[in-house]
């Protein structure tokens, strides 16, 4: 994240569509192997009889009408959280009952419009409750509530240790578990790294190991994605405008036994950093972006996602290397959609080939079996 947690409190789960001139059918198929859901939407164009031409004509001969066409929309992939250290116990009434390790807590959740499934007595077992009764909100604790604890996450054959803690200024506690499907995808970067042809003098070895992938993590928050990439053998540049967040991320690096991993840490505005990298001619193979909806940089720079994200993506295109393999965008804003993420990445990577996938990050609550939508994402892969 670029700043503290003003943006990550909300994410969108739905996109409004107009059905006045198109009929749509949706099929949803579960994938037990990776616990994701793919929704395919097929939109039928209006029939010729219902089409009105807006082209002026002086001829009495009717204009020819194009035949009806069927456009198949791209698939939207729903990713669920599967992390032993995290449980969504219940959700509803714009709140969620969560358990991080052994610590049960309650936080607000603007997208949980339904009723909770568990009785109040189960919710009352939470040791910490974040109350949104002030501008920043505040935590209310029981005597058994820890102020700081750790959770493990296994990635690329390495066990990460991620520090969680309660802060006075935010309901966020240092990790976004819905992003764990992304972390697992990033953990495979090492095995998916492009190979470099070997020198002619070594015909017995058709390929030589590629150098480490260069990863740029913008709005990197407390560094979970950064450390997953480092564990996978990548060289990572981590950028966040919040000094406390970067300090927290470096503590996670130490806890995870990755103190010697090649990670560069920057407390800086993401827009300024990338513009400087363009001027320097720097190149990256992987770019990760997790921007807030609104925030300020370390020098008061104002960030508005709808205004600033498209030009930032343009600048990120300029620093992609010849062996660029991945751009991953995560968006927390209630006004966006996964289609928006797809369109932005298609614009950014125009002419590069590859494929784009997009969807939502979700938790499934254990009590009601409902998917709770939390974030949107888009991914370009070479």
Instruction: Please give the full DSSP string across 137-180, using - where no structure is assigned.
Output: -EEEE-TT--SEEEEEEEETTEEEEEEEE-BTTBS--S--GGGH
Q: How far apart are CA 171 and CA 330, in angstroms?
A: 19
Find tokens 């198109």 and name the residue.
22
Percent of the chain at pLDDT > 70 equals: 75
User: 194 falls in which pLDDT band (50, 70, 90)?
Assistant: low
Residue 11 has pLDDT above 90, yes or no: no
Q: How far apart are CA 213 and CA 229, in angstroms?
A: 9
Residue 216 in contact with residue 286, Cβ under 8 Å? yes
Mean pLDDT for 247-267 is: 98
Residue-wise pLDDT tens digits, 33-92: 345 555 544 333 333 333 333 333 333 434 444 444 445 567 899 999 999 999 999 999
Residue 241 in contact with residue 296, Cβ under 8 Å? yes
Which residues have C-beta within 8 Å of that of residue 245, sequence separation ≥ 6?
A: 1, 4, 220, 221, 222
Q: What are phi and psi of 67, to 5 degrees?
A: -65, 155
Find tokens 């990713």 and name the residue.
79
Which residues have C-beta within 8 Å of that of residue 88, sequence separation ≥ 6?
A: 81, 96, 97, 98, 363, 364, 365, 366, 372
User: 3 falls in which pLDDT band (50, 70, 90)?
Assistant: very low
Beta bridge partners of 107: 96
User: 321 falls in which pLDDT band (50, 70, 90)?
Assistant: very high
Q: How far apart are CA 295 and CA 248, in angstroms?
A: 19
Lowest mean pLDDT among 77-81, 153-157, 201-205, 295-299: 201-205
Lowest mean pLDDT among 6-20, 187-201, 251-265, 329-343: 6-20
pLDDT number for residue 333: 81
112's tokens: 């949980």
pLDDT number for residue 222: 98
pLDDT number for residue 21: 37
Q: How far apart are CA 323 and CA 320, in angstroms?
A: 8
Mean pLDDT for 288-306 is: 89
Beta bridge partners of 186: none
DSSP H helices in the chain: 120-123, 180-187, 189-192, 224-231, 243-255, 270-280, 305-318, 338-348
Residue-wise pLDDT tens digits, 130-146: 998 766 689 999 999 99
Beta bridge partners of 71: 43
**Within 10 Å of residue 189's Cβ, how many Cβ atoms?**
22
Would you list the domain boundaries of the chain? 78-82+147-193+210-381
Residue 372 has pLDDT above 70, yes or no: yes
Most confidently modeled of 147-156, 199-208, 292-301?
A: 147-156
Q: How far apart are CA 304 and CA 293, in angstroms?
A: 6
Lowest mean pLDDT among 206-210, 242-246, 255-259: 206-210
Tell me, rounded to whole angstroms, the distance of Cα 110 from its chain centroid: 18
pLDDT number for residue 200: 52
Q: How far apart are CA 21 and CA 258, in angstroms?
A: 56
CATH number of 78-82+147-193+210-381: 3.40.50.150
Comparing CA positions, the residue from 11, 176, 170, 155 lying closest to residue 100 is 176
pLDDT number for residue 134: 60
Residue 268 has pLDDT above 70, yes or no: yes
User: 8 falls in which pLDDT band (50, 70, 90)?
Assistant: very low
106's tokens: 């309650």
Residue 164 in contact with residue 100, Cβ under 8 Å? yes
Residue-wise pLDDT tens digits, 228-251: 999 999 999 999 999 999 999 999
Q: What is the DSSP string of 223-265?
A: -HHHHHHHHTT-EEEEEES-HHHHHHHHHHHHHTT-TTS-EEE
């Amino acid at each position: 994240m670029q700043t503290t947690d003003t943006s990550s409190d909300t994410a969108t789960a739905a996109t409004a569509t107009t059905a006045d001139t198109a009929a749509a059918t949706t099929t949803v198929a579960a994938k037990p192997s990776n616990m994701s859901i793919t929704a395919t939407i097929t939109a039928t164009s209006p029939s010729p009889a219902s089409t009105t031409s807006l082209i002026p004509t002086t001829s009495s001969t009717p204009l020819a009408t194009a035949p009806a066409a069927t456009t198949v929309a791209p698939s939207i992939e729903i990713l669920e959280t599967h992390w032993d250290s995290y449980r969504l116990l219940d959700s509803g009434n714009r709140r969620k009952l969560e358990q991080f390790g052994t610590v049960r807590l309650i936080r607000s959740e603007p997208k949980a419009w339904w009723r909770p499934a568990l009785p109040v007595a189960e919710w009352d077992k939470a040791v910490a409750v974040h109350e949104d009764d002030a501008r920043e909100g505040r935590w209310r604790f029981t005597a058994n509530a820890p102020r700081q604890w750790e959770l493990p996450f296994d990635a690329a054959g390495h066990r990460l240790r991620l520090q969680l803690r309660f802060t006075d200024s935010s309901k966020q506690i240092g990790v976004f578990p819905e992003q764990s499907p992304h972390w697992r995808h990033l953990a495979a970067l090492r095995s998916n790294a492009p190979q470099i042809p070997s020198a002619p003098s070594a015909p017995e070895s058709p390929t030589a190991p590629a150098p480490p992938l260069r990863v740029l993590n913008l709005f990197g928050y407390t560094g979970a994605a950064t450390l997953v990439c480092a564990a996978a053998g990548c060289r990572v540049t981590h950028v966040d405008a919040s000094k406390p967040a970067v300090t927290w991320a470096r503590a996670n690096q130490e806890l995870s036994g990755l103190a010697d991993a090649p990670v560069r840490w920057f407390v800086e505005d993401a827009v300024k950093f990338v513009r400087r990298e363009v001027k320097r001619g720097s190149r990256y193979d992987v770019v990760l972006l997790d921007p807030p909806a609104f925030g300020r940089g370390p020098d008061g720079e104002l960030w508005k996602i709808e205004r600033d994200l498209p030009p930032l993506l343009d600048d990120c295109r300029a620093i992609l290397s010849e062996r660029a393999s991945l751009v991953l965008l995560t968006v927390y804003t209630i006004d966006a959609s996964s289609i928006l993420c797809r369109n932005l990445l298609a614009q950014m990577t125009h002419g590069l080939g590859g494929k784009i996938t997009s969807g939502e990050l979700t938790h499934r609550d254990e009590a009601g079996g409902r998917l709770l939508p939390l974030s949107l994402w888009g991914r370009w892969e070479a």
